[in-house]
Amino acid sequence: MPMPDASLLGGSHGARWTRHRRVFLPVWLALVLLAWTLLWAWSLSPHARYLDHGGWTGPLADLCRTLPGGGWWLPTALAALAWLLMCIAMMLPTTLPLFDVFERVTAGRADRGLLLGLLGAGYLAVWGGFGLLAHGAHEALLAGVARLPWLADRAAWIGVATLAGAGAFQFSALKYRCLEQCRTPLSFVMAHWRGGSPRWQAWALGAHHGLFCIGCCWALMLLMFVVGMGHLGWMLVLAAVMAAEKNLPGGRRLSAPLGWALLAAAVLLAMRA
């Protein structure tokens, strides 16, 4: 396993910690707060319904039809923006230990700011790809519900299946394997950072970590399609749960109780359905 240079983790420690505390942490926190603020402002605006896929009708659909090619690119762009903001708001807080370690490892480099940006870009690119797949599947499902009366009559069972699937996944081996990678950021960075081609490696490190993050959290993120992407309260709850699972000392022990809670919620929803 490659080890960082001593000059990166030692020497002038006080000065580096001061810069870390005064620059990196405020910038990281400001980015997360900006994403939450924009989502909150969007949810209070007259266009709040467009945070949900249920809002891709009416005036927005009319506007799309009046623009060249707007029938596909405008709703796609708005959906991508909503998903990007949601990923920054919900997932970036879960990766603070990763960014913290990487910032310290690259503290001796003049391009550390660029490398941190590339790390985040790689991470968000992977989540963006997952978002495209999830949104595509959701649109196909909505189209099926609209065209098939028997499926429309049983639409509530889609929510039951999503809750039950998310609950069952909490007990899977894949969940725990990916969660372990997310909970050991120092080992992860040391295993994937070698310093050669630093820009590419920073992006690839972020993308690689994003894959493990998706492997750990994809089922929980799909719950947003059940409760609604514009529901900031549920977004906060899920973000807090995922951050606790990844970052708290006893976070791994939260997976099983959360799984039972989701399975119980699925049973209750099934009884109502």
Q: Report which residue type is found at 147.
A: R
Q: How far apart are CA 224 and CA 220, in angstroms?
A: 8
Report which DSSP code applies to 153. Answer: T
Report helix, strand or coil for 56: coil
Domains of the chain: which residue ranges? 6-272
Q: Which segments of 183-231 does DSSP mark as H helices, in order?
A: 185-192, 198-222, 224-227
N-to-C CA span, the chain: 53
Judge whether 148 and 236 are in contact, CB under 8 Å. Answer: no
- pTM, rounded to two decimals: 0.78
Judge whether 108 and 11 are in contact, CB under 8 Å. Answer: no
Report the half-sphere exposure of 203 (CA within 13 A, side-chain side). 7
Query: Going residue by residue through the chain (273 aa), what tens digit of pLDDT does each one get?
Result: 344 443 444 444 555 555 556 667 787 788 889 988 888 888 777 666 666 644 333 333 333 333 444 444 566 677 777 888 888 888 888 888 898 889 888 887 888 889 999 999 999 999 988 988 887 787 777 777 677 777 666 767 888 888 999 999 999 999 999 999 999 999 999 888 877 788 999 999 999 999 999 999 999 888 877 766 557 888 888 889 999 999 888 888 899 999 999 999 889 888 886
Q: How far apart are CA 48 and CA 55, in angstroms?
A: 8
